[in-house]
Amino acid sequence: MDERIAMRSAKHRLSMHPAWLTGVLACVALALSIHRLDVLLPARLWWQAIVSPNASDIREIVFCASDLPRLAVCLLAGAQLSLAGAIFQQVLRNPLAEPTTLGVSAGASLSLSLATLFAPRLLFGGQEWIALTGATLGMLIVVALAWRRRLAPVALILGGLILNFYCGSINAVLALFHHDDLQSLFIWGAGALNQNNWDAPQALLPRLAVGGALAALLVRPLTMMSLADDNARGLGVSLRFVRIGALALAVFLAASVVASVGVIGFLGVLAPTIVRLTGARRFRDRLIWAPLFGGVLLWLTDEAVRWLSAVWTSVPTGAAMSVLGAPLLFWLLPRLPALPDTVDMSSHAMHRTRLRLPAWIALGMLALTAAVALGLLLGASANGWQWAHGATFDALLPWRGPRVFAALAAGALLSLAGVIMQRVTGNAMASPEVLGVSAGASLGLIALLFVTSSAGHFLQSVAAGAGGFATLLAMLALGRKHAFAPDRMLLVGVTLGTALSALVTVLLASGDPRMDSLLAWMAGSTYNVTAHDAAMSCVALIVLGAVAAIFMRWLEILPLGESIATSLGVNARVSRFALLLLAALMTGVATLLVGPFSFIGLMAPHLARMLGFRRAAAQLVVSALLGAWIMVLADWLGRNAMFPFQIPVGLVATLLGGLYFMWLMVRGKAAA
């Protein structure tokens, strides 16, 4: 067994030593820097500018007060994030742990947004402590969510994913109401490394030095934590003290970077993972090489961004790191060690109410009818809450009707897609939102917008469906090697979601006028849904739902396994391909209506399973009714909760769904 593990590890190891890899990237980054700086200031004047800068020469001022501090920030911030990621991975025994996946960056960013809007006086005391408070709270929430499963890796990933979505939704709501106040903060929060003095390097350097020294003191106990808990205790390691101290150190390192330069995605997982694969297998070695490689990688990325800004537009380096890091992370994904944890959301672990399906369908139809009536008839106005009737109802119906029925169709489609994906992959955590299919659909639509600005609803649906299907194919290819392991599936969702957010930030920074409507759509707005759009979405629900009914036998057989499916005459490859294509089309249509994230595709199938509906037909019908009901209520709440301001239905559904799953995880019913 040990020999097989060693052979498998050697197979996945990269051939270049971390010293060589770091050196090569450093040489490339240095060459790019010299070429760029030589245009600004000849090399013979560099030392003269550093030793005695000429205050009347703007080139020397830019060189000394902007270029050099930015280079220092790249090296220091990259090293600090990589060091934090290496510590997180070692303490939690999780190769996927890093500030982004653990909610640390999301908590720090949200705390700064809240302080900027509601307590600006706190910023005078230094934004680092605000970011540290938010990062600590974010980490504590993720730990609390995964506590019932003893901080299992998949539970931590799931908790971080939910917290990232949740904090992102709150930030989006704040941006809707305070866009002008937060615009500069969001651009900075995307990881813009522009500098005009040495304040950021002077703040980061002592923190990195102290963090590195403390990490060096913790090398031995943290190395022992690679062993089983009982063995580590037998060697005299105080697990609780070491875990708390190391986690506090990693959170502090990550939060100080967020406070200084904003969020830089994926670097905390890329650098430690790459140096591990290139030969730094001991934790002591990773503590040395991960910061060095991380600093150089961020430096190289920043140089690429600065070259891009000269030929196209200015892009925040943190956002570019996320966009560039996503494909690199996908490449590394098959090379990561398999995690033994599984996500248990099976119905045998949950309470089941044994009622007949017709009774539940009748109850669901009654509840859905009541929600539709509520959405059409009751609403807030300048004179308070009012029931619409008579001429008032006739006047409001063209405005309320399309939104209500579009939300209904989107909720049902996402729920159906979630059921199909869960049954096809055999993974109860599969859903369009979690696995990044909604993000893929969004990328397909964004690509279409840049090809043509006059695309109709049908072409938009096709583009979104194609993007979602491409994501599903990537997920299928990644999952087959590891039997659709939850950690691989969740990482796909985290990666695509982060990459999508970073790409949107890049596009918004470009100043393209098409991005304003894209931002409103990303939030899940039904503001501009027309009667034709609502009618087409309802037709799509009927047609795609009928197709799902035709494939009912496949949905019953595929969860039993490929061998059983083959013995029953079902071609697993063809059936899985057809069902995933159907789920992608459903997701594409729904994403056009309510944006890329809503949790409905995960929440509704899970609720149906909790009620005891495990057969394919029953789960499909009950999930569709639940998803439609929740989305209609979310649209009604978004229209009326803060009247006259409106919250997009996708954000409301994400906020409600996030709370629901946090509650389930705390109770231990949805964690890994």
Residue 186 pLDDT? 65
- Asked if the bond preceding 69 is cis, omega within 30° of 0, the reply is no
**Range in 10-24, 262-276, 577-591 the model is least confident about:** 10-24
Residue 411 pLDDT? 92
Strand partners, 141: none
44-58 mean pLDDT: 67
**What is 73-105 written as a DSSP string?**
HHHHHHHHHHHHHHHHHHHHT-TT-STTTTTHH
Measured in residues, the chain has a length of 672
> Over 70: is that where the pLDDT of 362 sits?
yes
Residue 600 pLDDT? 86
pLDDT band per the 50, 70, 90 thresholds, residue 5? very low
> Over 50: is that where the pLDDT of 384 sits?
yes
Strand partners, 385: 380
Q: Which residue has the tokens 């330069």?
A: 261
Distances in whole angstroms, Cα of residue 577 to Cα of each of 424, 573, 585: 9, 6, 12
> Over 60: is that where the pLDDT of 18 sits?
yes
CB 251 within 8 A of CB 135: yes
For 327-341, b/e burial (b = at least 16 CB within 10 A) is eebbebbebbeebeb
Distances in whole angstroms, Cα of residue 182 to Cα of each of 72, 124, 173, 227, 516: 27, 17, 11, 46, 15
Residues in Cβ contact with 239 at an 8 Å cutoff, skipping those fewer than 6 apart: 225, 229, 232, 233
- List alpha helices for 198-337, DSSP H: 199-217, 219-224, 229-234, 239-261, 267-277, 283-311, 317-332
476-496 mean pLDDT: 65
Residue 359 pLDDT? 83
Report which listed range, 162-176, 268-282, 445-459, 647-661, is most confident. 268-282
Strand partners, 387: 378
- Percent of the chain past pLDDT 90, that is, above it, reads 18
pLDDT band per the 50, 70, 90 thresholds, residue 155? confident
User: How many angstroms separate the CA atoms of 627 and 15, rounded?
Assistant: 49
Residues in Cβ contact with 408 at an 8 Å cutoff, skipping those fewer than 6 apart: 368, 372, 538, 628, 631, 632
Closest CA to 662 of 211, 161, 257: 161
User: How many angstroms separate the CA atoms of 291 and 288, rounded?
Assistant: 6
- What phi, psi does 504 have (nearest 5°)? -60, -40
pLDDT band per the 50, 70, 90 thresholds, residue 544? very high
> Which domains can be identified in the chain, with CATH numbers?
2-335 (1.10.3470.10), 402-666 (1.10.3470.10)
CB 636 within 8 A of CB 482: no
User: How many angstroms separate the CA atoms of 379 and 303, rounded?
Assistant: 53
Tokens found for residue 482 = 């590891």
Residue 344 pLDDT? 43
**Range in 366-375, 486-495, 556-565 the model is least confident about:** 486-495
Residue 484 pLDDT? 58
Closest CA to 585 of 463, 445, 484: 463
pLDDT band per the 50, 70, 90 thresholds, residue 297? very high
CB 88 within 8 A of CB 98: yes
> Over 60: is that where the pLDDT of 672 sits?
no
Report which listed range, 202-216, 352-366, 643-657, is most confident. 202-216
317-331 pLDDT per residue, tens: 887 787 777 777 777
Distances in whole angstroms, Cα of residue 185 to Cα of each of 126, 162, 182, 395: 15, 23, 5, 41
Tokens found for residue 117 = 């809007």
179 CB neighbour count, 10 Å cutoff: 11
pLDDT band per the 50, 70, 90 thresholds, residue 526? confident
User: How many angstroms separate the CA atoms of 264 and 329, rounded?
Assistant: 14
64-117 pLDDT per residue, tens: 888 889 999 999 999 999 999 999 888 887 777 788 778 888 888 888 888 888
Tokens found for residue 538 = 């309802």
Coil, helix or strand at residue 513:
coil
Whole-number average pLDDT of the chain = 78
Distances in whole angstroms, Cα of residue 672 to Cα of each of 89, 338, 341, 608: 17, 14, 6, 19
Distances in whole angstroms, Cα of residue 523 to Cα of each of 117, 165, 534, 593, 654: 20, 12, 18, 10, 10
User: How many angstroms separate the CA atoms of 640 and 224, rounded?
Assistant: 55
Closest CA to 85 of 100, 74, 73: 100
> Over 70: is that where the pLDDT of 194 sits?
yes
176-187 mean pLDDT: 68
> Over 60: is that where the pLDDT of 168 sits?
yes
Residue 353 pLDDT? 44
Residue 455 pLDDT? 66
Tokens found for residue 208 = 């990195």
- List alpha helices for 551-648, DSSP H: 552-557, 562-567, 572-594, 600-610, 616-640
Residues in Cβ contact with 214 at an 8 Å cutoff, skipping those fewer than 6 apart: 249
Residues in Cβ contact with 316 at an 8 Å cutoff, skipping those fewer than 6 apart: 187, 190, 191, 192, 193, 262, 305, 505, 506, 509
Residue 587 pLDDT? 85
CB 612 within 8 A of CB 405: no
**Range in 210-214, 417-421, 474-478, 506-510 the model is least confident about:** 506-510
CB 63 within 8 A of CB 49: yes
User: How many angstroms separate the CA atoms of 563 and 566, rounded?
Assistant: 5
Q: How far is CA 134 from the centre of its chain?
A: 18
pLDDT band per the 50, 70, 90 thresholds, residue 343? very low
CB 653 within 8 A of CB 599: yes
Q: How far is CA 24 from the centre of its chain?
A: 31
Cα angle: 341, vertex 581, 96; to 5 degrees:
25
> Over 70: is that where the pLDDT of 55 sits?
no
Tokens found for residue 348 = 């045998």
Closest CA to 255 of 126, 108, 123: 108
